[in-house]
Structure 1
Amino acid sequence: MSTLSIATAKEVFDLLRDDLAAIEREFAEQSASPVSVITEIAQYLIAGGGKRIRPLLLLLSAKALGCESESRIKLGAVVEMLHTATLVHDDIIDEADTRRGRPSSNTTWGNSKCVLAGDWLYMQAFHTALEERNFRVLDLLISLTQQMVEGELLQMQKLGHLINEEEYFDLIYRKTACLFKVSMQLGAAITHASDETDSQLGEYGRNLGLAFQIIDDVLDLTASEDVLGKPVASDLREGKATLAVIHALERGTGADREAIRKVLADRSFENVSHPQILEILNRHGSIDYAMDTACAYAEAARLSIADLPETEAKRALLWVPGFVTSRDR
């Protein structure tokens, strides 16, 4: 039985500070284009910040396996470029006005320029990854991109419709957890780790990513706009049924189900208010159910790396699930 303690936030930051700064520089360097509007959009997106949790996972995965090569920096920038490209495209698809408390890029440059800038970031990410001359890396990134696109298309097909938990978990795996999983597996790929280690790291990323997205969906329902940095309850307004909503639909009265269906179909709170929906969710314990499910996936992530060597990187990986489930934005 391991007695390894969980790292503190300060210890994790101290462990990764220099590497994360190097990834930020690499991201900026790789995002520069002779076409000035691409560079402008990329710089705007980089300045918007974010948690950088995906490159953080790649760094910890590589460190846990003893990797100190430059590959971890380049691929850290790659996963953040891919993530940023998906955000640009998501904002266009969702017609979002804000992102992280600032105007979304498409409100400044327009949809046409931003969709092309997102495409450029995708291709630049693959160009950078190609320098590794590692077929496993390319295989992971190609499969990842296909999964994310499929997830977005599936979600668009289901907007305004009721879905069950199985469909929900399939969607959030494709849209979010798959990138967490691949970020961890890239650490294994650049260290040529065993299939067993690759599987353990991938399982950690998958479970963590599912927890992350469930928490995101709960915050969309419960957080304030000032804290969240974007309009609240945007999922319901876009016709998306998330875990707490699915739970309430399965357990609510006929009137409860009709109220939720109305919001999903209308894609607005014109006929049923946001506080009314929250009352239904809280009455059936649906928010607590979603939070408990996220915490269960977070704990599963910790358990999946039990066999890793006991290093500072492993202590940091044990910290991340708690950070994911306790955040407020």
Structure 2
Amino acid sequence: MRPDLLDRVHTLLPAHHARPEIQLLYDMMRDYPARGGKGIRAELLLASARAHGVREGTPAWEQALWLAATVELFQNWVLIHDDIEDDSEERRGQPALHRTHGVPLALNAGDALHAYMWAAVARANVPGAFEEVLQMIHRTAEGQHVDLAWVEHGRWDLTPADYLDMVRLKTAYYTVVVPLRLGALAAGATPSAAFEAAGVALGAAFQIRDDVLNLTADAGVYGKEIGGDLQEGKRTLMVLDWLERAPASERAAFLTYMQQPRAQKSPEDTRRILDWLRTSGAVDRAQAVADEHARTGLALLDAALADAPDRAAALGILAQMQQLATRHA
């Protein structure tokens, strides 16, 4: 996260309290934002504001910064909850918050961050922003519910198309669609109707690439445990693609592995299944799907930004979106 944006987030979050229990809450609320992160969504929102004519140092830029703080606070409280729901071990190279402090305290800290997110929306005071943030929460919660329901109900009778439906909700709106729209609103512009279709395609490409990285990235750079999605039972495009083609013996071994609680999944079994996925061609096929969605989304986004007041900033957005679908960490 850019330093000026982190400073803005911290101005909203309380820092000191005489009662030690509440001091712990304040420290926990600041934990994930202080760990860094790339700030992808906030940067996209600010780039959209520039493309629509907002200049740094103006009142409109101040409003855009508060909206960028909004999406960062959203990202962090959702990550706290997501780590609990997925029983994750790490976040940004450190133990997940619930691993250090327990589920009840981590859950409460996430709820508190959610409340401060709305304080950032209020500071921005941008017409239409409230409704956009609501849409972001609704769509993300729907996609997350689908994802969690598959795990909770032990569903493996799924197709790659099911996966794409899920990530278009879970990832696309808060990663691409809404940041683009909020940036336009900060400029006092009407967001292009094409942002939705473009963002849905690009968001799917982003999530597929993130799933690929979970199997292939350098652990020292990635910031999460490699293979964590597999241990958590995530229904990724690679897994669903592989299951459609896997030999019966490998499929049976995989389903047996998935019936075990995470703590009982042996490292040897995890490595064996990772090897099957990596050597099956499923990773390459998933990246090809990501590339196709990226091309579609970039073409739609280029058309949507064709008349943007700042063409250089618009081209910067296209370059940023291209990088998201092909990044290596």
TM-based fold match above 0.5: yes
Cα 1:82–1:271 shift into 2, 3 Å: closer
SS in 2 for 1:198: coil
Look up the equivalent residue of 2:254 and give its one-letter code. I
How far 1:51 moved relative to its partner?
0.8
Q: Distance in 2 between matches of 1:204 and 1:98?
A: 31
Residue 12 of structure 1 corresponds to which residue in structure 2? none
| 1:293 corresponds to which of 274, 289, 292 | 289
Residue 5 of structure 1 corresponds to which residue in structure 2? none
Q: Distance in 2 between matches of 1:198 and 1:134?
A: 17
SS in 2 for 1:306: helix
Q: Distance in 1 between matches of 2:185 and 2:250?
A: 49
**Are the equivalent residues in 2 in contact too, given 1:236–1:263 (CA < 8 A)?**
no
Residue 69 of structure 2 corresponds to which residue in structure 1? 77
**Are the equivalent residues in 1 in contact too, given 2:227–2:274 (CA < 8 A)?**
no
Residue 318 of structure 1 corresponds to which residue in structure 2? 318
Residue 53 of structure 2 corresponds to which residue in structure 1? 66
Look up the equivalent residue of 1:323 and give its one-letter code. Q
Q: Distance in 2 between matches of 1:271 and 1:52?
A: 32
**Are the equivalent residues in 1 in contact too, given 2:41–2:71 (CA < 8 A)?**
yes
**Are the equivalent residues in 2 in contact too, given 1:150–1:174 (CA < 8 A)?**
yes
| 1:174 corresponds to which of 169, 175, 195 | 169
Q: Distance in 2 between matches of 1:140 and 1:171?
A: 20
Q: Deviations over 1:164-191 (max 9, x none)?
A: 2232122222222110211111112223
Look up the equivalent residue of 1:158 and give its one-letter code. W
Look up the equivalent residue of 1:28 and give its one-letter code. H
Q: Distance in 2 between matches of 1:215 and 1:285?
A: 15
| 1:95 corresponds to which of 57, 74, 87 | 87
How far 1:79 moved relative to its partner?
0.2
Matched pairs, number: 309
Q: What CA RMSD, in Å, does the superposition of the two structures yield over aligned residues?
A: 2.3
Q: Distance in 2 between matches of 1:286 and 1:43?
A: 39
Residue 207 of structure 1 corresponds to which residue in structure 2? 201
Look up the equivalent residue of 2:285 and give its one-letter code. Y
Q: Which segment is superposed worse, 142-151 or 210-219?
A: 142-151
Query: Is it true that 1:276 corresponds to 2:272 in the alignment?
Result: yes
How far 1:59 moved relative to its partner?
0.5
Q: Which segment is superposed worse, 264-273 or 243-252?
A: 264-273
TM, length-normalised to structure 1:
0.85
Look up the equivalent residue of 2:324 and give its one-letter code. V
How far 1:144 moved relative to its partner?
1.6
Q: Percent identity?
A: 29
Query: Is it true that 1:21 corresponds to 2:3 in the alignment?
Result: yes
Query: Is it true that 1:55 corresponds to 2:45 in the alignment?
Result: no
Q: Distance in 2 between matches of 1:152 and 1:243?
A: 16
**Are the equivalent residues in 1 in contact too, given 2:147–2:235 (CA < 8 A)?**
no
SS in 2 for 1:76: helix
Query: Is it true that 1:151 corresponds to 2:133 in the alignment?
Result: no
Q: Distance in 1 between matches of 2:314 and 2:219?
A: 35
Query: Is it true that 1:122 corresponds to 2:104 in the alignment?
Result: no
Structure 1: where are the runs of 5+ without partners? 1-16
Cα 1:161–1:39 shift into 2, 3 Å: same
Q: Distance in 1 between matches of 2:302 and 2:6?
A: 30
TM, length-normalised to structure 2:
0.85
Q: Deviations over 1:220-265 (max 9, x none)?
A: 1223433322322122212222001111111223223223323333
How far 1:74 moved relative to its partner?
0.2
SS in 1 for 2:294: helix
Structure 2: where are the runs of 5+ without partners? none
Q: Distance in 2 between matches of 1:169 and 1:199?
A: 21
Residue 241 of structure 1 corresponds to which residue in structure 2? 235
Q: Deviations over 1:69-115 (max 9, x none)?
A: 11110000000000000011111222223211112222233222221
Residue 228 of structure 1 corresponds to which residue in structure 2? 222
Query: Is it true that 1:186 corresponds to 2:178 in the alignment?
Result: no
SS in 1 for 2:37: coil
Q: Distance in 1 between matches of 2:271 and 2:168?
A: 29
